[in-house]
Amino acid sequence: MKDVAGRVGSIVLVLLGFAAIAPTAFVTLFGLFVTGGLAFKDGLNATMLWTAIALLVPTASLACLLWLTTRHRSLRLSEVPALVWTGLAAGVLAGLYMTAKLPPASINTASTWFKIGGGPLLLAPVVVFIIWYRGRNTNPE
């Protein structure tokens, strides 16, 4: 019975993870497509290049968080690759920067905050805690 509860909890965590990551992923991917379209139309300049780089960092960190969310059952913190830790750190810093730079009047609803990086900011510590909590007990029976 405990294994069934663990599996259901894992499925719920993955579904909530997708729900938390999806709005930010759509916003960043939309920004990448718009930047690519403008660069194709007007030519690549320094502003377009820096905008693309600034959007690639959160996109890569979202991919790392998605990988960590889907693999949380079979991982320990020591087994997480350094690239994933780097991606998570960059994503948390990018999310904090994006949420801190918005003027307070523009954050009038929680959905706006959630779309610009709030979901992954909430999900990352939860997933890391779950991996740590499961890894500290070597015999779950």
- Estimate the crossing angle of helix 2-42 against helix 46-70, to 10 degrees: 170
DSSP state of 78: G
**pLDDT by position in tens, the chain (length 141):** 556 667 787 788 888 888 888 888 888 888 888 888 888 888 878 888 888 888 888 888 888 888 888 888 888 888 889 999 998 898 888 877 777 776 655 555 666 666 667 778 888 888 888 888 887 765 555
The residue type at 57: V
